[in-house]
Amino acid sequence: MPPELSYSLWISLLPGIALWALALYLPLSGPIARFEESLAAGQLDANSQQLLLVLASLALALAVGVVIEILLCWALGPSWSSSLGLIAVLSGLFWAVANRQNQD
Domain that holds residue 32: 3-103
Cα-trace Rg, the chain: 17
Q: In this predicted structure, what is the pLDDT of residue 4?
A: 52
Is 2's pLDDT higher than 80?
A: no
Condensed to tens digits (0 to 9), the pLDDT of residues 26-71 reads 777 788 888 888 888 888 888 888 899 889 888 888 888 888 888 8
Is 1's pLDDT higher than 50?
A: no
Integer CA distances (angstroms), 44 to 15, 26, 49, 74, in order: 35, 25, 6, 42
- Structural contact between residues 85 and 20, judged by C-beta atoms closer than 8 angstroms: yes
Is 103's pLDDT higher than 80?
A: no
Burial of 5 (0-12, 13-18, 19+ CB in 10 A): exposed
Q: How many domains does the chain have?
A: 1
Mean pLDDT of all residues in 2-18 = 66
Condensed to tens digits (0 to 9), the pLDDT of residues 61-75 reads 888 888 888 888 788
